[in-house]
Amino acid sequence: MAAINRVVLVGNLTKDPELRHTPSGTAVCNLRLAVNTRRKDETGQWVDKPNYFDITVWGNQGERCAQYLAKGRPVAVDGRLEWREWETPEGNKRQAVDIVADTVQFLGGRGDGEGGGGYIPSEVAAPAGDFPSSPTDDDIPF
């Protein structure tokens, strides 16, 4: 039986990226992504329910995320789920499921922060070189 572990999300960053490096020097960038789900409430009115996801981006792509992204910026993430378990200093066991990004696509313009911008299909988006404040395809290792 085949196993599939794939996640695709489009949403907005809830805070600025956090970049750190492993002892060996590998870049690790942490992102927090909000993705709304629309559903009807008890009164029959449509409401947005926010869902929050922790994203880990490794290597050069993580460095580019830290350099060009900021809170509110819309992004598309393609990655996989990764389960982890650890023990707190008090001896309690904890578990979490994170998303490890294979690719992060920057959406909207660089000035699109605090919820601005949105998804732009690649077939209608202008080439990255047309926006001087945005990174070019050569800058992002996808």
Question: How confident is the prediction for the chain on average, in pLDDT?
Answer: 82
Whether this prediction's pTM lies above 0.95 is answered by no
Give domain limits for the chain. Answer: 7-130
- Rounded to whole angstroms, how far apart are CA atoms 43 and 88? 42
Cβ atoms within 10 Å, residue 53 = 19
Lowest mean pLDDT among 67-76, 81-90, 92-101, 121-130: 121-130
Amino acid found at 15: K
Phi, psi angles (nearest 5°) of residue 129: -65, -15
pLDDT at 78 over 60: yes
Query: DSSP labels for 89-103?
Result: TTS-EEEEEEEEEEE
What CATH number should be reported for the domain whose range is 7-130?
2.40.50.140
pLDDT at residue 140, as a whole number = 39
What the block records as the tokens of 133 is: 């404040």
Determine the average pLDDT of the residues in 70-75. Answer: 95
What the block records as the tokens of 54 is: 């922790």
Give 13-25 pLDDT, tens digit per residue.
999 999 999 999 9
